[in-house]
């Protein structure tokens, strides 16, 4: 099967367009956009979380710990959107199945567990997004702009199911 290869830079550029709509909790649109710009730059240049978090903490007067949570959470969302673009391009007919892979560590949460359970046999990409949204609402998560990040510091990811 022919597979379209897109460079990381192309996927990042496409992700930027989709990310424009998303805002963080507890910040204004302006601050959110600026933080997002810094984080995207960090992802682009493959800077570490700590370095990017320090830049943000300094510029926006945030505690470093909080800045680090924002960087980790937002970077996860950026990677999720890039992966979504990759999935869409490698499966234009939308027939492929995906599941939510729960990264088993101390931070794993009930939302991810629930999404993992409901998608364990594989669902299409749109359905997976719906399940994520439903479980976030059920858990009382306010920020539904994050489509691939279910809770702060989430590390769980979508995974294509091959049968």
Taking the least distance from each CB to Zn ion, the nearer of 154 and 158 is: 154
CA atoms within 13 A on the CB side of 153: 11
Taking the least distance from each CB to Zn ion, the nearer of 40 and 156 is: 156
| Nearest distance from C-beta of residue 80 to Zn ion, angstroms | 11
| Nearest distance from C-beta of residue 45 to Zn ion, angstroms | 26
# binding residues, Zn ion (CB under 5 A) = 3
Answer for the pair 45, 123: CB distance below 8 angstroms, yes or no: no
| Contact string 73-112 vs Zn ion (x = CB under 5 A) | ---------------------------------------x
Q: ∠ CA(5), CA(99), CA(95), 5° rounding?
A: 55
In angstroms, the first-to-last Cα distance of the chain is 15
Taking the least distance from each CB to Zn ion, the nearer of 19 and 112 is: 112
- Burial class from Cβ neighbours inside 10 Å (0-12, 13-18, 19+) for residue 91 reads middle
- Name which of residues 117 to 156 contact Zn ion (CB under 5 A): 154, 156
Which are the contacts of 135, defined by CB distance < 8 A and separation ≥ 6?
111, 114, 115, 118, 150
- Name which of residues 12 to 71 contact Zn ion (CB under 5 A): none
| Nearest distance from C-beta of residue 135 to Zn ion, angstroms | 11
d(CA 31, CA 115): 31
Taking the least distance from each CB to Zn ion, the nearer of 22 and 76 is: 76
* Footprint of Zn ion (CB under 5 A): 112, 154, 156
């Amino acid at each position: 099967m022919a597979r379209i290869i897109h460079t990381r830079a192309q996927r990042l550029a496409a992700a930027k367009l989709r990310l424009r709509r998303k805002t963080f909790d507890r910040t204004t649109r302006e601050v959110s956009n600026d933080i997002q710009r810094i984080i995207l730059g960090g992802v682009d240049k493959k800077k570490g979380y700590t370095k990017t978090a320090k830049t943000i903490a300094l510029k926006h007067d945030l505690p470093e710990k909080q800045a680090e949570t924002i960087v980790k959470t937002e970077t996860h969302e950026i990677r999720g959107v890039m992966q979504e673009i990759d999935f869409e391009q490698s499966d234009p007919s939308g027939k492929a199945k995906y599941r939510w892979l729960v990264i088993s560590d101390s931070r794993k949460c009930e939302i991810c567990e629930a999404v993992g359970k409901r998608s364990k046999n594989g669902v299409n990409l749109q359905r997976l997004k719906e399940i994520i949204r439903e479980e976030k609402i059920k858990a009382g998560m306010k920020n539904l702009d994050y489509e691939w990040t279910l809770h702060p510091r989430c590390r769980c990811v979508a995974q294509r199911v091959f049968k």
